[in-house]
Amino acid sequence: MSKAWLLFVAVVLLASGAAAQTGSPEITSIWARATPGRADTGAAYVTIESAKADRLTGASTPVASKAELHEVTMQDGIMKMRSMPAIELPAGRTVVLKPGSIHIMLIGLKQPLQAGESFPLTLEFEKAGDRQVNVTVAKPGAMGPDHAGGGANMPMPHGR
């Protein structure tokens, strides 16, 4: 092989490795709980894995007036929820937004979230930019996407 060919192959391999590292975060297990009657708040949950360090800085959806990043903590035996400016996404680590922990709070729901339905959600990343995902609504009280209430044959995304 000529040196030029070897150099070309090396450049292509390096470029493809760099492209893989700059890829968008992998987003799985995208779900929300159904909301009762006239509830005007809900929550969405996702699992995010990013090859490079990034931050989830916000979210938006047409089903709510506002979406905020929230964290639930226990302080002196009392559960407290507070808004967060961002959620850190360490390189190569999986971050799980789940009930009783960090999550996306949906404020000012325009209609109840119904089990079996879905809605769009845009996630805003500091480095990776905006990503739109589709949120599957699980039954009330569900603890994960496997409890979506759509029947045993309904495919659901799974986290790692």
Tell me the mean pLDDT per 10 residues along the chain, length 160: 48 42 82 94 97 98 98 91 97 96 97 96 97 96 69 35
Structure-block tokens of residue 2: 């000529």
- Give the model's pLDDT for residue 83: 96
- Give the model's pLDDT for residue 95: 98
- Give the model's pLDDT for residue 145: 85
β-pairing verdict for 26-33 and 129-138: parallel
Architecture of domain 25-146: Sandwich (2.60)
- Give the model's pLDDT for residue 3: 54
